[in-house]
Amino acid sequence: MKTLTQLAAGLAAGAITARALIEDSLARIADPNGEGARAFTKVHADSARACADAMDALRKAGRALGPYAGIPVAFKDLTDIAGEATPAGSRVLADASPAQVHAPVAARMFAHGFVSIGRTNMTEFAYSGLGLNPHYGTPAAAWERDVAPRVPGGSSSGTGVAVGDGIVPVGLGTDTGGSCRIPAACNNIVGFKPTARRVPLTGILPLAPSLDSVGPLARCVADCAVVDAVFAGEDPGVPQAAPLAGLRVGVPKNYVRDDIDQTVARGFDRALTALSLAGARVVEFGFDELSEIPALGAGGGLVAAESYHWHRALLAAKRDGYDPRVSSRILAGEKIGAADYLETVARRAALIARSDERTDAFDVIALPTIPVVPPRIADLLADDEAYRMANLLLLRNPTIANLLDRCALALPCGEAGGAPVSLMLMGKRMEDRRLLAIGLSVEEMLGAR
């Protein structure tokens, strides 16, 4: 799959058409040897063809909506698209009233001429980092797919697989505790979590509004930068790559390497060495505040409390239709009282303030996105304890950025042809474009694309 820049150039030169791009995506979805049938919960075949033809006609008339008009995009199944229900990977909302208007992030993509190819699969109601879905099936990550299918990462599982398999160049994900970055790590692609306040959450079915954010998944940092700008209502473009010489990179000594496997450890250490050789100042430091994070999530924390608030009436009416592994986590919020919730909010605010002070000397914080290679799906299907432990492990590092209200970027750093390994760079609050500029240089240095 070509990058957005390459596709835009081809469209502008007449070397390719929007209709051809759409037909290619639809063929990949329908391929019985691929994961398209599980990566998508709904395919917009007819409307995508009609939109593509319209974009081709507008471009021919010199009235194209923009350079990216006609390029296919995938939307996670919790995104409001006018005229459709928003099931969020569940069966209990399959008959819900259709959305009346597009979510702002979708409307902004359409305004630039991007064409929706369909809605992507996800963990039901976005409540897991693994990506398993008993209702629509679980799409497998590309690595060892024919040997022992691996989890796609959640909750934006379908978007991760659709981008990783080249069905679409870019897609929408959401990120409450890593749900853009974990699928990126599992599928060897790039995922970006913006500072939450930059991108509107209106029209996105919530998990935990205090932590939710909307971000892109793509095959390169530049494409993430374009889509992030569109989501944020900014002019789409790619920032100038930031020099690595003199870049201040902090690496936590504690917490983020716990239970790391050898494959990830080697990839992460290689990335740090490469940063040093490129002139970055890589410094290990004690990030003691991270040890407070597990206590913030005890009993389900903010996510359980806020998700229960949204789901309580629906659970009362349709609990039997939920994935039990999801409903049990939401129901933990029933036990969280107002005083406990407010105490957690206050403790998070204090943690953010102290963490900001602790990390102020660094431009970015580097850590493994996930500390292990993607687990095998078969190992988790019937073993609830294995599922619970794997979910906690994959969420642990990405959740740091959500709790600290930061932006974060995940990009591949493994060996070519080997297991997927991902480097996470965490930037400062509202310095999203600076982080993407750094990511461009790190990506080029690693040869990640």
User: Is 328 among the residues known to form the active site?
Assistant: no
Please count the other Cβ atoms lying within 10 Å of the Cβ belonging to residue 235.
7
Judged by phi (left if over 0) then psi (alpha if -120 to 50, else beta), residue 275 lies in alpha
Query: Measured at the alpha carbon of residue 421, what is the angle toward residues 368 and 231, in degrees to the nearest 5?
Result: 75
Is the separation of the CB atoms in 219 and 449 below 8 Å? yes
**Rounded-to-integer distance, Cα 126 and Cα 176, Å:** 8
**Rounded-to-integer distance, Cα 321 and Cα 281, Å:** 52
Main-chain phi, psi angles of 33, to 5 degrees:
-90, 0
The pLDDT of residue 448 is 42
User: Is 155 among the residues known to form the active site?
Assistant: yes
Return all residues near 269 (Cβ < 8 A) that are at least 6 apart. none
Peptide bond preceding 155 in cis form (omega within 30 of 0): yes
- Of the candidates 79, 171, 176, the residue with the CA atom closest to the CA atom of residue 129: 176
Tell me which of 25, 179, 213, 327 is the catalytic residue.
Answer: 179
The pLDDT of residue 449 is 38
Q: What residue type is assigned to position 421 of the chain? A: V
Please, what sign has the CA dihedral across residues 227, 107, 201, 76? negative
Q: What residue type is assigned to position 275 of the chain? A: L
Tell me which of 76, 116, 128, 156 is the catalytic residue.
Answer: 76
Is the separation of the CB atoms in 172 and 205 below 8 Å? no
Please count the other Cβ atoms lying within 10 Å of the Cβ belonging to residue 346.
10
The pLDDT of residue 1 is 78
Tell me which of 90, 116, 128, 155 is the catalytic residue.
Answer: 155
**Rounded-to-integer distance, Cα 173 and Cα 192, Å:** 9
- Of the candidates 271, 274, 252, 303, the residue with the CA atom closest to the CA atom of residue 426: 252
**Rounded-to-integer distance, Cα 436 and Cα 413, Å:** 16
**Residues paired with residue 368 on neighbouring β-strands, in sequence order:** 423
- Of the candidates 292, 301, 295, the residue with the CA atom closest to the CA atom of residue 329: 301
User: Is 179 among the residues known to form the active site?
Assistant: yes
Is the separation of the CB atoms in 224 and 190 below 8 Å? yes
Please, what sign has the CA dihedral across residues 67, 167, 183, 449? negative
pLDDT in tens, the chain (449 residues): 799 999 999 999 999 999 999 999 999 999 999 999 999 999 999 999 999 999 999 999 999 999 999 999 999 999 999 999 999 999 999 889 999 999 999 999 999 999 999 999 999 999 999 999 999 999 999 999 999 999 999 999 999 999 999 999 999 999 999 999 999 999 999 999 999 999 999 999 999 999 999 999 999 999 999 999 999 999 999 999 999 999 999 999 999 999 999 999 999 999 999 999 999 999 999 999 999 999 999 999 999 999 999 999 999 999 999 999 999 999 999 999 999 999 999 999 999 999 999 999 999 999 999 999 999 999 999 999 999 999 999 999 999 999 999 999 999 999 988 999 999 999 999 999 999 999 999 999 998 43
